[in-house]
Structure 1
Amino acid sequence: MKKLFRPLAVATAIGVTGIAGTNLLLAQEKQLPAEKPLRALPDDLKRVLPAEPPAVAPGRPARGLDDVKPVRGIDDLKGRVDRVPGQGAGGAADSKPDTTIAPVKVGDTIAKTEFAVKPKDLSPAVKKGLEYLVKGQQDDGGWNQGGGWRNGTGGGRVEGAKVEDPSDIGNTCFVLLALLRAGSTATEGEYKDAVHKGLKFVINRVEKADKDSLYITDVRGTQLQSKIGNYVDTFLVNLVLAEFRGKSGDQEKALVAALEKTMTKIVRHQTADGGFAGNNGWATTLSMGICNKSLVRAKERGAVVDDKALARVLAQAKSSVTNTAPAAVAADPKAGPAAVAAAPAMAGKAGDAGVALYRVGQGAGNYQDVVNSLRLDAEKAKQVLADAKAPKDERDRAEKKLQEVKEAEVQNDKVQADLARNVKNDNFVAGFGNNGGEEFLSFMNISETLVLLGGKDWDDWDAKMVKGLEKAQDKDGSWQGHHCITGKTFCTAGALLVLMADRTPFPTEVIKAAREKKENKPVEPKTGETQPGGPAPAK
Structure 2
Amino acid sequence: MKFLPASLTALMLALLMGCVTVLLESATNSKPPIADSTGGATGADSTAGDPTTVGVAHIVAPKEDLAPFIDDAINWLAKAQHDSGGWGAGSHSSQQIRDPHKVQTDPATTAFTAMALLRVGGDPTSGKYKNHLRKASEYLVRVVNESDANGPSITTLQGTQPQSKLGQFIDTSMTLQFLSRILPKLPESDPLHQPVDEALDKCLLKLQNSQKQDGSWGGGSWAGVLQSSVGCSALEWAVAAGKTVDMDALDRARGHQKDNFNAETGRASAADSAGIELYAFAGSQRAAASEAGAARQIIEEAKREGRLEADAEYTEENLRLVGIEAPKATILADSFAQSMAQLALLDNEQLLSGFGNNGGEEFLSYMLTSESLVLQGGDAWPKWKQKMHTRMAKIQIANGSWTGHHCITSPVFCTAAVIQCLTADRDEELLRVLNDRDAQSKPEEL
- Whether TM exceeds 0.5 here: the answer is yes
2:202 corresponding residue in structure 1? 261
Q: Alpha-carbon deviation of 1:449?
A: 0.8
Match of 1:139 in 2: 83
CA distance in 2, matches of 1:247, 1:62: 45
- 1:295 and 1:512 map into 2 onto residues whose CA distance is 15
The CA deviation string for residues 276-306 of structure 1, in whole angstroms up to 9 with x for no partner, is 33x1210011111111001011012111112
Deviations 1:119-156 (A, max 9, x none): 252111111111001111101111112x6x533xxxxx
CA offset digits 1:302-323 (Å, max 9, x no partner): 1111221122112212222249
Q: What's 1:173 paired with?
A: 111
Report the 3-state secondary structure (helix = DSSP H, G, I; strand = E; otherwise coil) of the residue aligned with 1:245: helix
Query: Among 390, 410, 432, which residue is 2:333 paired with?
Result: 410
Question: What is the TM-score of this pair, normalised by structure 1?
Answer: 0.63
Shift of 1:480: 0.5
Give me the identity figure in percent: 30
What residue in structure 2 maps to residue 459 of structure 1? 382
Q: Deviations over 1:41-95 (max 9, x none)?
A: xxxxxxxxxxxxxxxxx854653xxxxxx4778645454357xxxxxxxxxxxxx
Q: How much has 1:117 moved relative to structure 2?
A: 1.9
Matched, 1:352 2:289: no
- Cα distance in 1 for partners of 2:11, 2:213 equals 37
2:138 is matched with 200
Q: Distance in 1 between matches of 2:356 and 2:408?
A: 14
Of 502, 507, 511, which aligns to 2:425? 502
1:513, CA displacement in angstroms?
A: 9.8
Distance (whole Å) between structure 2 residues aligned to residue 507 and residue 80 of structure 1:
36
1:357-372 mapped onto 2 (5 Å cutoff): 357-369=278-290
Q: Which residue of 1 aligns with 2:92?
A: 150
Contact 1:227/1:485, CA 8 A, preserved across alignment: yes
SS state at 1:489 partner: helix
Residues 270 and 372 of structure 1: is their aligned pair in 2 closer, same or farther, counting only changes over 3 Å?
farther
Amino acid at match of 2:195: A
Q: Is contact 2:259-2:284 (8 Å) kept? A: yes
1:429 alignment partner in structure 2: 352
Kept in 2: contact 1:118–1:502 (CA 8 A): yes
Tell me how far apart the structure 2 counterparts of residues 293 and 495 of structure 1 sit (CA, whole Å): 18
Q: 1:367 Cα shift?
A: 2.0
Partner residue, 2:302: none
Per the alignment, residue 116 of structure 1 pairs with 59
| 1:140–1:77 Cα change, 3 Å | closer
1:303 aligned to which of 231, 234, 243: 243
For the pair 1:488 / 2:431, whether they are aligned, the reply is no
Among 254, 266, 277, the residue aligned to 1:314: 254
Q: 2:165–2:222: 8 Å Cα contact kept in structure 1?
A: yes
1:41 paired residue number: none
Mark the runs of 5 or more structure 1 residues left unpaired by the alignment: 1-57, 64-69, 83-113, 152-156, 324-348, 379-398, 516-539
Distance 1:510 1:180 in 2: 17
Letter in 2 for 1:131: N
What is the CA distance between 1:374 and its match in structure 2?
9.5
Please state if 1:275 is matched with 2:216: yes
2:71 pairs with one of 127, 143, 158:
127
Look up the equivalent residue of 1:363 and give its one-letter code: S
Residues 514 and 219 of structure 1: is their aligned pair in 2 closer, same or farther, counting only changes over 3 Å?
Answer: closer
Q: Is the 8 A contact 2:111 2:178 kept in 1?
A: yes
Contact 2:226–2:280 (8 Å) recurs in 1: yes
- Segments of structure 2 that go 5 or more residues without pairing to the other structure are 20-56, 264-269, 300-321, 440-446
Aligned length: 369
Once residues 177 and 121 of structure 1 are traced to their aligned partners in structure 2, the CA distance between those partners, rounded to angstroms, is 19
Render the CA deviation track for 1:394-441: whole Å, top value 9, x for unaligned.
xxxxx9984232111111122111210111111111111111100110
Structure 2 counterpart of 1:342: none
Root-mean-square deviation (CA, aligned residues, Å) is 3.3
Quote the residue 1:237 is aligned against: 175
Task: From the superposition, tell whether residues 375 and 490 of structure 1 become closer, same or farther in structure 2 (CA, over 3 Å).
Answer: same
